[in-house]
Amino acid sequence: MKRRISSILMASVLGVSLLSGCSAGSAPNVSTLQTKVIKSDSNEYMMAGKIEANENIDITSKITAKVEAINVDVGSNVKEGDVIIKLDAKDLNAQVAEAQAGVETANANLAKIQGGARPEEIAKAQAAASSAKATYDNAKENYDKNVQLFNTGAISKSQLDQYKTALANAEGSYKSYEADLKMLINGETQETIKEAQSQVEQAQAALNLAKVQLNNGIIVSPISGVVSSKNVSSGELAEAGSPLVTIVNSNALYINAYLPESLMNRVKIGQEVAIKVSNVPDKVFKGQILVINPVIDSKNKNELVKIEFETQDPLLKPGMFAEIALKN
């Protein structure tokens, strides 16, 4: 007899298009619901509904890369922190190596600037400056002599201009070598040091970003639960932002049930209920009414009632159908 009663009630459930997670203020789009009040196990079963998961998370990738390995399938149990997907990391490793080299180069440049010039570098600069000074002195002497010749008409203006240009070039070179020598002796300016420090910071930021991208190649589960869908396989391309795997938290289950308008005055928030689940026929679960939607479906005259389980049982799964009774 109990089996027939259950069949009658569940037949009414299968005719209902239940909406997962309906919010208060929006009536569900359901077909006509004929819920019968049935007494069984000393409880009055007056509602039918479907078990839903409070937490339903789509796992996505932050980068676009080929899937190297996927460690779960539909129905797999996962724990928070479990590695679900590994992406191909060859390009990511190369980016990290390149960024690491950039940091090392920038640090070496900064150390060189802060440490000052070695004695052999100063000696080399002094020799270059002395040679440039000798070239300048020689150019100055030649120019002065030819100025006198020009004044007597011995050479043309164009010939004098050639000596003038040679003198200007020699003077510019000499001043440049002198400045280099002075910088080596006195050390780099604070502005130059700050610029080198900035280059180190930029290189380190690039390395940190490359490491983050590399870590993004390992995708872990943010919650404990059960895999309800899988949209990618090994060897396929994981697009950034696209759902790859969906995980439901089986430890946060509730029931969306529908109550006939004629019975609405018999329920209240916090009221204890008895729950029978079609897939677990030999067990009655305890629960209580968590939410009563104040908006009645105008077509079917049903009211959405959200019910939570007193304790979460591993036998319960999202999608299972349930009958709900007010406890006597």
Q: Residue 158: in which H helix or E strand, if any?
A: helix 157-186
Q: Predicted confidence band at 15 (pLDDT cuts at 50, 70, 90)? A: very low
Residue 158, number of CB atoms within 10 A of its CB: 7
DSSP-derived secondary structure for 56-117: EEEEEBSS-EEEEEE---TT-EE-TT-EEEEE--HHHHHHHHHHHHHHHHHHHHHHHHHH--
What are the pLDDT digits (tens) for 108-117?
888 877 766 5
- How far apart (Å, rounded) are the C-alpha atoms in residues 240 and 296? 41
| 287 Rama class: left (phi>0) / alpha (psi -120 to 50) / beta | beta
Q: Which of 288, 126, 227 is nearest to 219 (CA)?
A: 227
Over the stretch 278-311, which tens digit does the pLDDT of each residue have? 999 999 999 999 999 888 877 877 889 999 999 8
- Kindly give, in sequence order, each residue whose CB lies less than 8 Å from that of residue 327, ignoring residues fewer than 6 positions away: 43, 272, 273, 274
Q: What average pLDDT score do residues 35-47 get? A: 60
* Whether the Cβ atoms of residue 205 and residue 22 lie closer than 8 Å to each other: no
pLDDT in tens, 264-278: 888 899 999 999 999
Q: Does domain 2-54+252-326 have CATH number 3.40.47.10?
A: no
Please, which residues have CB within 8 angstroms of residue 282's CB and are 6 or more apart in sequence?
none
Find all residues with CB under 8 Å of 280, minimum gap 6, and list them: 313, 315, 316, 320
pLDDT on residue 36 = 47
**Residues 202-216: tens digit of each pLDDT:** 999 999 999 998 999
* Cβ neighbours for 112, distance < 8 A, ≥ 6 positions apart: none
Average pLDDT value for the chain: 83
Q: Which residue has the higher pLDDT, 37 or 112?
A: 112
Q: pLDDT tens across 115-165, in order? A: 665 677 778 888 998 999 999 999 999 999 999 999 999 999 999 999 999
pLDDT of residue 279: 92
pLDDT at 41: 53
CATH fold group of domain 57-88+217-248: OB fold (Dihydrolipoamide Acetyltransferase, E2P) (2.40.50)
Residue 105: half-sphere exposure toward Cβ, Cα within 13 Å: 10
